[in-house]
Structures are given as C-alpha cells and as structure tokens.
Chain A
Amino acid sequence: MDEIKMEREIKEMLHQCADELHAPDSMQARVKFALNNAPARKRHLWSKRFVAVAAVAAIAVTGAFAAGGMGGIFSKGWSDQRLDLSSTQAHLADAGVALTLPDKIGEYTFSYGSDVDTTAQNDMGETEKVSQVDATYTKDGAKLNLSAHKSYTVFTEDEMENPVPATTAEVNGVTLTYRNAHYRFVPDDYEKSDEEKQQEKSGELVISYYGSDEVEDKMFQSVLWEQDGATYLISGYDTGLDAQTMFDMAAELVK
C-alpha cells in the first residue's frame, strides 16, 4: 500500500468508526450534575511561578516547570549565560520592559544577567510566550534575583491567586506585594502528609516536586509589582529580608 493510500485509509477508517458513535444521553446529565456540584475552582499559580523562577536561577540549566492541573508556566534558562549590565539592559528592552537596571539593589551588587524563555499556559490550554530577563545581584555570596517580563494575559484572577499571606505597600501609585513563603522541596516520590496538605491550602507552605533529591526547607522572600504592562519580582532564598527592606529596594525601581 503506498503512502497516500495508507493515509487515506487511516482517515476513512477513523471516520467510519466515529460515525457510529453518539454521545449517550447520560452524558448531559453528568455534565449538569458536575456543573451544579462543582466547588469553586481556585488555582494558585503565583506560588508555583516563584518556584519556576527560582528553579531556573538555581539549577541554571534547561528546566521546565508545570503547575498542577493543566496550566502553568514553563521556563527555560541557560547555565552558561552571563550577561553584563549593559547587555542585560539591552535584553530587557528587547523583552519589551522599560526598566533601567541599577548596578545595586540595596546592598546587593549586580553580578550578571540571563534570559529566561517562558511559556504560560492557562487551564484552558491557551498559551503565551513571554521573554523574561533575570538579573542576579550578590552580597557576600548571597544572591538576590530581579526578574522582569511583560505581564501574562492568559491567566484569570483565580489562576493568579496566591494563598501565601502578603503585605502590601503603595509607591507612586504602584502596589508592591511582599511575601515570605515557606517552600519545601521534595523528591518526586514524596507523599504529602495531611498536615502539609492543610498548610498548603492555608498558604503556610508550598511544596515543590522540582529539583530536589531530598526534603529541603527554605524561606523565599519576594516583592512583586506590576507597572506599565510589565511584571517585576525581586526575590531570594533565606535572605532574611523583611517587608520594609524589600519595599525600599523595589521603590528605587518604581520611581
């Protein structure tokens, strides 16, 4: 059988089979029942997004991260990319972000920049590719990451909701949101306890199945804001930075 004939046969065969299939009457009743009894759908994308950002920065190799359910943000970075300040600035402009990168954030000094390609996918499977630029700042070996990208448009408010308690402040009409989240990195086969599940629901804990062979706890401090269609995040693990300190750092950039 030649290629064209075989392709035609596959098509016809599938269509013949399908033509005999009709949705059973029970299906509509099941759909209605599910709609009438569905709990409110809440997705917590932001907390997972934070991990994605952090994971890329931490492992600095091609990495992928998918949130639970259908949606998520898939990120890819490069281990050997080390952009200097002016190159990072240029990449930011290419990413559509209007921000002048400082050479210092608080007491942290610019070390290098890197690109992160992200693909956002909402619950409905709609995707959106966004170029993100990360800038790493250091102080005595400790790292602080500034990431910036054009804001995602595919997610609903529910999907963007983050259960981790937040502290907010206003600077020049821009809302800054500080969080100090407890992350637990666990191996792939880790089973959550009931207590952990409860803690996740309340936002006390975020469990990540990405990039760890053993259970490891870290505190993740971050300040997030949106301005002129772009999203900015300053973040770091176990930095000990409190809300006011991070608000002051962000305020320097929100001018």
Chain B
Amino acid sequence: MNDKELVSRMQHGDMQAFDELYERYKDDAYRLACLITGSRTDGEDLAQEAFVTCAQSIKSLRDGSKFRPWLLRTLSRAAWKYCRKAKRETPVSEFFDAGESESALSAVLRTDEQRRLYAALDTLDEKRRVTVVLYYFDDRSVREIAQATGVTEGTVKSRLFSARRHLRQALTEERKPKEAANHG
C-alpha cells in the first residue's frame, strides 16, 4: 500500500495506517532530528513531536503521497524553533564529540578528514549547522530551507557560504601544525 492510500486511511480514522507510515519513516525522521539538534535525546523528542503533530493534523494534508516531505518539513520547523531557543539540556558535544563512548558518531567515520570536518561542524553556531544539515544531508534547496527556517533565501545562501568558509578555516587550521611538523 502506498503513502497516499495509507494517508487516506488515516484521514478516515485508521490508526493502523499510521503505524505503517511510522515504520516507514521513523529512521528518516530520527536521523534528521539528531543531526539538526546534535543530540540523540533531543532528536528522539523532536521526531516524536513531528509524528504526533502530523498524526493530529493529517486531515490538512491534501496530497497523501507527500507524507514524507511533509513529515520532515514539520520536523525541521520544530527543530529550528527548538534550536533557536538555544537552551538545550544536552550539549552538541554529546553528539559531535569524538568522546570515549562507543555510540559517538565520529567512530563510524572512515577518514581523518571526515573526523576533522565533523569536529569543525560542531563549532558552527546553530543557525549555520541547521542550514548545513538541511542542505547537505536532506538535500533541501535554498528556497526550501528559507521556508523551513523563516528567513530569506539570501540569508540561507549567506549562512551556507559562511559555514563553508568556517569549515574550511577549521580544516586548514587543523592541518597547519601537521604541515609545519612535516616541513620542520
């Protein structure tokens, strides 16, 4: 059964259809939420909130085949609001810190370059990190990000530009001591 049919069933009160949609997209939602918030705990909260919001508002979804983008857009809006508060109980470092934990995400990264990039991403402020995640992970267009975060397309472009520059600088600075050592 496709999403459109499941949404239609949900709109007629069939919550088993919701369970099916949940199973299909729980990981997509959870992953995006974790990357945006920088926390597994907050990611779970946000993904949960997005599913609940969508379930409660399912009647307003006119095109059931768009359930997935609708869910993820709802989630990123909620996450954006959350990030703007900047009062997270769990620091970003829980997620991005290489740390000692087996669950640290950087453990799965294959190259030093990626690990450095990961650490650099951690130093971005929330606005730019959210923009980077939506753009590079979720493949959102500048326009979609502007709509999701409530800013102009120019602001999104500026944040992307600034984030890239910041990441490049961070990588360059990381590399300098090694290069100096190699040449010393």
Contact = CB atoms under 8 A, between A and B. Distances in A.
A34 B74 CA distance: 17
B137 A14 contact: yes
Chain B contact-residue range equals 35 or more
Contacts of A16: 108-110, 114
A38 B56 contact: yes
Contacts of B15: 35
B113 interface: yes
Chain A contact-residue range equals 35 or more
Contacts of A126: 60
B114 A27 contact: no
A126 B57 CA distance: 12
20 contacts: A3-B164, A6-B167, A6-B168, A10-B117, A10-B132, A11-B136, A13-B118, A22-B30, A27-B44, A30-B48, A31-B48, A31-B51, A31-B52, A38-B56, A41-B56, A124-B53, A125-B73, A125-B74, A156-B59, A156-B60
Contacts of A156: 57, 59-60
A17 B117 contact: no
A18 B35 contact: yes
Interface of B, secondary structure class, is helix
Interface of A: 1, 3, 6-7, 9-24, 26-28, 30-31, 34-35, 38, 41, 70, 122-127, 156
Nearest to A155: B60
B114 A9 contact: yes
B30 A27 contact: yes
A3, A14, A26, A30: most-surrounded residue (chain B CB, <10 A): A14
A35 B31 contact: no
Interface string B13-49: 0010001001000110111101100001001100111
Contacts of A123: 53, 57
A18 B31 contact: yes
B148 interface: yes
